[in-house]
Amino acid sequence: MTDFDPGINPYGSFMTGPSVPEGTTARAGAKLEAGVTLASDEAIVEALRTVHDPEIPVNIYDLGLIYNTERIENGDVKVLMTLTAPACPVAGEMPYDVAAAVSAVDGVGEVEVVLTWEPAWTQDRMTEDAKLVLNIF
Average pLDDT over residues 97-123: 96
pLDDT of residue 16: 44
- What are the tens digits of pLDDT across the range 32-79? 999 999 999 999 999 999 999 888 889 999 999 999 999 999 999 999
**Who contacts 69 (Cβ-Cβ below 8 Å, separation ≥6)?**
41, 44, 45, 48, 77, 78, 79, 80
Closest by CA to 8, choosing from 62, 115, 84, is 84
Beta bridge partners of 25: 114
CA distances, 98 to each of 10, 27, 55, 135 (Å) = 22, 9, 16, 26
Neighbours of 105 (CB within 10 A): 20
CATH topology of domain 25-133: GMP Synthetase; Chain A, domain 3 (3.30.300)
- What are the tens digits of pLDDT across the range 84-104? 887 888 888 999 999 999 999
Distance CA 129, CA 5 (A): 17
